[in-house]
Structure 1
Amino acid sequence: MPFPDFLVIGVPKSGTTALHAALRPHPALYMSPVKEPKYFLTDGPPPTRGGPGDAATYREHVWRREDYEALFADAPAGALCGESTPFYLYDRAAQRRIHAVAPQAKLIAILRDPVERAHSNWTHLWSAGLEPIGDVVRACAEDERRKAAGWAHFWHYVSLGRYGEQLEHLYDLFPREQVLVFRYRELLDDPARTLDRVCGFLGVEQGLLTHIPRENVTAQPEQGRRHQLLSMALRALARAGHHLPEKLGRVPIERIESLLQSQGAPRRPLTWDQRQRLLAHFTADIELLQRVTGEDFGDWLRPRERSGGLVGARPPGQRQARNGRPGPPAIGRNDRNDRPA
């Protein structure tokens, strides 16, 4: 069984879930029923501990080769097989693993304003009750400490957004003609043209896909005693999760997440002061990204004209089922994708 012909490799919170769903109806493509198998993130079993909720995330890795190959067993003859794990671009070892077994694979990366991406990432985990710091600027300052402590990739708010470093490494492994890079705003503003661009890159018929799924966005609960108590309870359950059968641990966690989301408001935009403070983490890398790609990303260094988009989101906590249909809520999935809120 061959490895996939193409992979959506990045980045989290930038519409990879929406792109995966949008490509699925194309008759010449077969998208894995598990959207984020994460196979190339490890050489064997994933870790069992990390940040809040990471134990539940690691249990969902498809890390055995036979299980990974089985994801594509139902592909029609002649269809190109693909999967979407938005951490592959960030993880240098994953890039090398992909190159070792699938050097001809085509790779797709969606880039989002790194400050907006980090804010969306933080909101995702804060709204889920997993993020213990109620200020996005302070939470981003914890990046290196969390990496050193073994917290999973989704907690690396700053490092995930350093695309210049990531693409520079990727282009050392793969020729540029095998890599398609485009902006999240393109997916929002002109989905039909962007999907045609993806199909043209993959060498399949264009004009068949015209829209990106529109779904709910992540709410942002107010800070306060209620959120604090519910979040503390959820993180305690998440820490204990690896000692419990998955189904037994899920029930109270799902109930707490429902309570957290019941009073959530839409994500509040960053102030210019907050944005300036976060931009300090990315300015040098944006300059590197421009050199690596030859494209202008200078707009990322200025105030935003609008807040994040509404495309490709799943309702808070909703799990992507193996049959491709939405499943029950799932807290603790720090990879849980890229609700672009």
Structure 2
Amino acid sequence: MGAGPDFIVTGPAMAGSRLLSSWLAAHPRISLPVETGPCALAPPSAEAPAAGFRMLGENSRELLQTPEAASAIAAVRPDCRIVLVLREPVARAFAHFRHQFHMGLETTHDFAAALAQEELRRAKGWSPLHLYRAGSTYLDGVRRFRLNFGPDRLLVILHEEIETSPAATFEKLCFFLGLWPDEVAANDAWPPSAAGSAGVAVGAVCKGAPEPACAPVAQPLHQRAWARFARTVLPAREPDLCPGVAAALARSFAPQVDAIEAELGLSLDPWRTAQPAVGGAASAAGV
């Protein structure tokens, strides 16, 4: 067994990787921090892992958008197992925008305007966390991880599975890692439930929540002033997802959905029939 984690849970923001990590962290044979790590290849913590642990895991978001991530991980741990969490692209993009707005990290409550500004934001050096269309572009990242780890060491979990069948999803995760799911002791927070994850998002977007460290790069003063205002005055105002915007986004993502389906041999029909929430009712389970 080489250096680095035995498995990595990753996926775009608001897809559900943090929730899956919290489930796995409850398993007695897994040592896994619940909080999202900054990088899959970060130096190991000086803190000793839990006594009797069998596998060391890591939760690192945004690896899909980092071109060198898959090959760098494979160079250190070619036997590493990758759990990749994906969500229907339109729903993910809007949920992410809504989350950023409520955190006071968005300068507009208009999702369409944020999408229109995306290239300008990129040119100005804004954080990738403010590039909502790009954050839902999965194909290149999926191909890189499949190329470097092969189908046997890559498990793709859909956000929709987490919501509709959380217990079965947890079983699938455990079997992929070579563990028994029934080793987890029953308690008030167990077995896993997607509904329970809503509290994570509700707590994160409550009025007065602190600004996270993922603020835009080189954010101008007027944007920081807006963030403070939005964080203290506007949390109750809900951004809307216009059906026309949702339909246009879905059409733009359709070729990617077809290509991912062909690449993975996995049916993505639920994505094609999905009706993204309108009026700010996006699911909170994908944090």
**2:192 aligned to which of 206, 211, 214:** 211
Change in CA separation of 1:256 and 1:2 when aligned onto 2, cut-off 3 Å: farther
Match of 1:38 in 2: 38
Structure 1 partner of 2:232: 259
User: Structure 2 matches for 1:96-135, cutoff 5 A?
Assistant: 96-135=71-110
Q: CA–CA distance in 2 between the matches of 1:161 and 1:104?
A: 27
Flag the 1:28–1:194 CA change in 2: closer, same or farther, 3 A. Answer: same
Q: What are the residue-to-residue correspondences of 1:260-339 with 2, within 5 Å?
A: 260=233, 263-264=235-236, 270-302=241-273, 304=275, 308-311=282-285, 339=287
> Partners of 2:161 and 2:46 in 1: how far apart?
29
**TM-score, normalised relative to structure 2:** 0.79
What is the distance in 2 between the residues matched to 1:143 and 1:294? 31
TM-score (norm 1): 0.67
Residue 229 (structure 1) aligns with: none
Secondary structure in structure 1 of the residue aligned to 2:31: strand
Residues 127 and 260 in structure 1, CA contact (< 8 A), matched pair in contact too: no
User: Match for residue 244 of structure 1?
Assistant: none
- In the TM superposition, residue 139 of structure 1 has moved relative to its aligned partner by 1.2
Shift of the alpha carbon at 1:167? Answer: 0.8
Deviation (angstroms), 1:165: 2.3
1:114-172 per-position Cα deviation (integer Å, ceiling 9, x unaligned): 00000011111112222123321221233333333332221221122122222112211
Offset of residue 102 of structure 1: 1.5
**Does the CA-based 8 Å contact 1:192-1:210 persist in structure 2?**
yes
The total of aligned residue pairs comes to 262
Indicate the SS of the match to 2:63.
coil
* Structure 1 residue identity aligned to 2:283: G
The corresponding residue for 2:135 is 160
Query: Structure 1 residues 111 and 72 mapped into 2: Cα distance closer, same or farther (>3 Å)?
Result: farther
**1:77 to partner: Cα distance:** 4.0
Paired with 2:66 and 2:92, the residues of 1 have a C-alpha distance of 17
Q: Which amino acid is the alignment partner of residue 36 of structure 2?
A: E
CA contact (8 A) 2:7 2:58 kept: yes
Cα pair distance change 1:148/1:256, threshold 3 Å = closer
In 1, Cα distance between the equivalents of 2:70 and 2:266? 23
Moved more, 95-104 or 197-206: 95-104
Compared CA separation, residues 310 and 198, structure 1 to 2 (3 A): same
1:152 maps to a residue whose letter is S
Task: Report if aligned partners of 2:12, 2:62 keep a CA contact under 8 Å in 1.
Answer: yes
1:11-26 aligned within 5 A: 11-26=12-27
Residue 280 of structure 1 deviates from its aligned partner by 3.5
CA 1:162–1:71 in structure 2 vs 1: closer, same or farther (change >3 Å)? farther
- Which position in structure 2 is the counterpart of 1:46? none
Q: CA deviation at 1:269?
A: 5.9
Query: How far is the alpha carbon of 1:305 from its aligned partner?
Result: 7.3
Residue 96 of structure 1 and its aligned partner are, at CA, apart by 2.1
Share of identical aligned residues, percent? 22
Q: Deviations over 1:198-238 (max 9, x none)?
A: 0110111123362134315459x9xxxxxxxxxxxx99x96
Q: Which amino acid aligns with 2:37?
A: P
Contiguous gaps of at least 5 residues in structure 2: 185-189, 206-214
The alignment partner of 1:70 has SS state of coil
Distance of 1:131 and 1:97 partners within structure 2? 32
User: 2 CA distance for matches of 1:110 and 1:74?
Assistant: 25
Counterpart of 1:318? none
1:118–1:273 distance in 2 versus 1, CA, 3 Å: same
Q: 1:130 to 1:289 in 2, by over 3 A?
A: same
Indicate the residue corresponding to 1:49 in structure 2. none
Give secondary structure in 2 for the equivalent of 1:108. strand
Do 2:111 and 2:239's aligned partners in 1 also have CA atoms closer than 8 Å?
A: no
Q: For 1:235-257, what per-residue CA distance to the aligned partner results, in whole angstroms no more than 9, with x for missing partners?
A: 9x9657xxxxxxxx9xx999767
Of 94, 98, 109, the match for 2:69: 94
The amino acid across from 1:297 in the alignment is L
The whole-number CA distance in structure 2 between the counterparts of 1:2 and 1:260 is: 47
Aligned to 2:58: 83
**Are the structure 2 counterparts of residues 23 and 8 from structure 1 closer, same or farther at C-alpha, using a change threshold of 3 Å?**
same
2:64 alignment partner, SS class: coil
Is the 1:123–1:218 contact (alpha carbons within 8 Å) kept by the matching residues of 2? no
Give me the whole-angstrom Cα distance separating, in 2, the residues matched to 1:299 and 1:155: 26
5+ residue gaps, structure 1, are 42-62, 222-233, 241-248, 312-337
More displaced, 195-204 or 147-156?
147-156
